[in-house]
A and B are shown apart, each in its own frame.
Chain A
Amino acid sequence: MTARMTLRVNGSDHDIAVAPDTLLLDALRYECGLTGAKLGCGTGDCGACTVTVDGEAVNSCLMYVLECEGHSVETVEGVTAGGIGAIVAEEFVKADAVQCGFCSPGIIMSTCALLARTEPGAATDEDIKEALAGNLCRCTGYLPILDAVRRASGAPR
């Protein structure tokens, strides 16, 4: 059973063929050609597949793409194209917060969702840790990441 649906990603509409169990993650990667979101654990534990739906950070491995009809999805490709997302990405590079890079798109998405709900400079370390607790990194270590998010949080936006 497949159906056609319109998936709105990064401001563009994609007319795609999906099955009931097609994951948002797979639709983004294989139907839309957006490979920023990564399949890590596939069970919602690692956060590498994080995207935002209507601005809220979610695991795209835990959502069916059909649930996204009528909603707006943003991926790392979209948010880093300009604005605060581009600043976040730049701060990750400057702080050496990217080693192998597999977790970075998900962490950048969680960061952007955090910064979208806080005033510039207002995110505390506790806020940052809470927002990023669902994103695992197995090589960079979390301190450079924390540093990058702190700096990006202070940027005007």
Chain B
Amino acid sequence: MSELDVGGYRRPDNLSELLTLLDRRPASVLAGGTDLVVMRADGTVDRAHDIVDIKGVPDLRGISLDADGTLTIGAATSLRELAKTTVIPPNAITDGAALVGGWQTRARGTIGGNICRASPAGDTLPGVLAADAQLELASTTGTRLVPGHDFFTGPGRTVREPDELLTRIIVPASFGASAYLRFTYRLAMDLAVVGVAAHLEIENGRCVAARVALGAAAATPVLAPDAADALVGTELDEASVEAAAQLVLNTATPIDDGRGSRAHRRTVLPVLAKRAIGIALERARGGHQR
């Protein structure tokens, strides 16, 4: 334990100490703090919980690409680092990371925090689903992998247990390319009214696999299987993409709220979907490798 071990605030320097702390008593996991500090202040998160600062654990940071093409992102990697990484070409997850908040919040905020906050409008979440990422949860009793699309159970809710820590985001190797786009009224410091991530794999000019994921269109980020299925087998010409993009409406169940009405969201979603698919296609044809 580091010298910073004062009552109520702990900064373990390795994973096993960290998991022991989470096992011992209720704790708030502090990564970038851009959500947690506000949530503790307003009472959304109980202030009696210990703060367990995970930034002192080196294993939780960084972006690495294995020889087989598997991408691993440490949960405490900052959104800034992810947005500017050169380890992988731009994709739906890095597009999302680049859009969260402003410069200051991206410098502190982390991908793991963005995922565990589980906001339906979280900008990295549709990318996690579209990339078919696995989320690694660790506790003192072991480690489990949860597919991104099974991780979210409601606004602010996930399958993570209180004694578990999201340690790594694991993106399987793919020869595809992806992109994320959102609609907002301001370019920065705004939350997605709706967002769409698209992932495409192309062989001999034909789409052989696709995933489309929606943000702020349901209680959690969701995959839109009808849209994805409609892309597979096509040459991704304009008519096929347009038709597939319309099918996101089979999945979208958006709400009326301060950022937009249900009707407005349903109007914007297919347009965004078409554009996101278009960018993913450009990237795929430009030789996006991984």
B residues near A131, Cβ cutoff 8 Å: 103
Among A3, A58, A59, A136, point to the contact of B7 (Cβ < 8 A).
A3
B47 and A21: CB pair below 8 A? yes
B55 and A134: CB pair below 8 A? no
Q: How far is the CB of B196 from chain A (nearest CB, A)?
A: 22
A residues near B101, Cβ cutoff 8 Å: 44, 134
A57 and B107: CB pair below 8 A? yes
Is A147's CB within 8 Å of the partner chain B? no
Interface of B is mostly: mixed
Q: How far is the CB of B76 from chain A (nearest CB, A)?
A: 13
B residues near A130, Cβ cutoff 8 Å: 103, 188
Is B38's CB within 8 Å of the partner chain A? yes
Interface of A is mostly: mixed
Q: Count residues of chain B with CB under 8 A from any CB of chain A.
A: 30
Is B9's CB within 8 Å of the partner chain A? yes
B38 and A62: CB pair below 8 A? yes
A48 to B189, CA, bound (A): 14
B residues near A57, Cβ cutoff 8 Å: 103-104, 107
Is A66's CB within 8 Å of the partner chain B? yes
Q: Count residues of chain A with CB under 8 A from any CB of chain B.
A: 33
**Given known contacts A20-B8, A67-B33, A44 and B38 CB-to-CB distance under 8 angstroms:** yes
Looking at A21, A44, A63, the one whose CB has the most chain B CB atoms below 10 A away is: A44
A residues near B7, Cβ cutoff 8 Å: 1, 3, 20
Per-residue CB contact flags for chain A residues 31-60 toward chain B (1 = under 8 Å, else 0) read 000000000001111010010000011110
Q: How far is the CB of B35 from chain A (nearest CB, A)?
A: 9
B103 and A44: CB pair below 8 A? no
A residues near B41, Cβ cutoff 8 Å: 21, 42
**Total inter-chain residue pairs, C-beta < 8 Å:** 92
B102 and A133: CB pair below 8 A? yes
B residues near A67, Cβ cutoff 8 Å: 30, 33, 53, 55
A50 and B104: CB pair below 8 A? yes
Q: How far is the CB of A145 from chain B (nearest CB, A)?
A: 15
Is A123's CB within 8 Å of the partner chain B? no
A50 to B107, CA, bound (A): 12
A21 and B103: CB pair below 8 A? no
A134 and B8: CB pair below 8 A? no
Is B51's CB within 8 Å of the partner chain A? yes
A85 to B188, CA, bound (A): 25
Is B37's CB within 8 Å of the partner chain A? yes
Is A110's CB within 8 Å of the partner chain B? yes
A44 and B6: CB pair below 8 A? no
Looking at A21, A42, A132, the one whose CB has the most chain B CB atoms below 10 A away is: A21
Among A3, A20, A58, A135, point to the contact of B108 (Cβ < 8 A).
A58
Query: What 7 additional pairs, Cβ within 8 angstroms, besides A3-B9, A5-B6?
Result: A1-B7, A58-B108, A64-B33, A67-B30, A110-B103, A133-B102, A134-B103
B residues in contact (CB < 8 Å) with A: 3-4, 6-9, 11, 30, 33-34, 37-38, 40-41, 47, 50-51, 53, 55, 80, 101-105, 107-108, 187-189
21 example contacts (A-B, Cβ-Cβ < 8 A) are as follows A3-B7, A20-B6, A44-B104, A58-B107, A59-B108, A62-B33, A62-B34, A62-B37, A62-B105, A63-B33, A64-B30, A64-B37, A66-B11, A67-B33, A67-B53, A69-B3, A69-B4, A130-B103, A131-B103, A133-B103, A134-B104
A residues in contact (CB < 8 Å) with B: 1, 3, 5, 19-21, 23, 42-45, 47, 50, 56-59, 61-64, 66-67, 69, 110, 113, 130-136
